Amino acid sequence: MPAEGRSAYIPGVLTAAGTATAFAAVFSAYALYGFLGNAAAFVALAVVALATLALALLHGPALAGLGLAAGYATPFLVASDAPALAPLALYLAVLTAASLGLARMRGWLWLAVIAVTGSVGWALLMILGGRGDGLDPAITALFTVAAFLLATAAFAAATHEAAPNLPPEGRDLRGAGLLALFTLPALLHLAVFGHGGTGLALLAALAAGFAGVAWRWPPLRHLALAVPAMLGLGHLGWDVPGAVLVGDPVTGGQAAPSLTDLLALETTSGLIGSAAAFGVAVGVIGFVAVLRGTARAPLGLAGAVTPLVLLCVTWLRVAEFGPSSTFGVLALGLGFVLAGLAESLIRRLDDTDFGADGAIAAYAVSAVAALALAFAILFERGVLTVTLALIVPALAMVDARRPLPALRWTAIVLALIVAARLVWDPGVAGGDPGATPVFNWLLWGYGLPALAFFGASLVFARRGPALVVHVLEAASLTLGTLTLILVIHHAMAGGRLEAPVSGLLEAALHTMTFLAVSLGANRLAALRGGPVFGRASPLLGLLGLAGAVQLLVIANPMVSGEPIGGLPVINVLAFAYLGPALLMAVTGQLARVAGRPRWYVRLCGWGAGLLAATWLTLAVRHGFHRPDMASGDIGEAELYVYSAVWLVAGVGLLVLGVVGSSVTLRRVAAAVILAVVVKVFLIDTAGLTGVWRALSYLGLGAVLILIGLAYQRLLGPMLRRREAPDG
DSSP state of 273: H
Residue 198 contacts by C-beta under 8 Å, 6 or more apart in sequence?
Answer: 137, 138, 141, 189
For residue 492, give the amino acid letter: M
In which residue ranges of the chain is pLDDT below 50?
1-9, 12, 14, 17-18, 23, 25, 33, 35, 247-252, 726-727
pTM recorded for the entire structure = 0.72
- Beta-bridged to residue 254, according to DSSP, are 247
Compute CA 644 distance to the chain's CA centroid, rounded to the nearest angstrom: 60
Cis peptide before 627 (omega within 30 of 0): yes
Whole-number pLDDT of residue 726 = 46
Q: Domain residues of the chain, as ranges?
A: 11-82, 92-239, 633-727
* Rounded CA Rg of the chain: 41
Q: How far apart are alpha carbons 724 and 727 in whole angstroms?
A: 9
Whole-number pLDDT of residue 247 = 47
How many other β-carbons are positioned within 10 Å of the β-carbon of residue 32? Answer: 8
Q: How far apart are alpha carbons 83 and 126 in whole angstroms?
A: 11
Compute CA 689 distance to the chain's CA centroid, rounded to the nearest angstrom: 72
Angle of CA points 486, 487, 493, to nearest 5°? 80
DSSP state of 109: H
Contact yes or no for 611/580 (Cβ under 8 A)? yes
197-216 and 226-236 helices cross at what angle (nearest 10)?
170
Distance set, CA 138 to CA 184, 202, 273 (Å): 16, 9, 22
Q: 3-state DSSP call for residue 578?
A: helix
**Range list of H helices, 32-130:** 38-59, 61-77, 85-106, 109-129
- Tell me the pLDDT tens digit for each residue of 22-66: 545 455 555 554 545 556 655 655 565 656 666 555 555 666 666
For the chain, give the mean pLDDT: 82
Q: How far apart are alpha carbons 87 and 83 in whole angstroms?
A: 9
636-659 and 691-710 helices cross at what angle (nearest 10)?
0
- Tell me the pLDDT tens digit for each residue of 60-105: 566 666 666 767 777 776 666 656 788 888 878 888 888 888 778 7
Q: How far apart are alpha carbons 546 and 632 in whole angstroms?
A: 30
No. of H helices and E strands in the chain? 31, 2
b/e string for 248-267 if b means 16 or more Cβ within 10 A?
eeeeeeeebbeeebbeebee
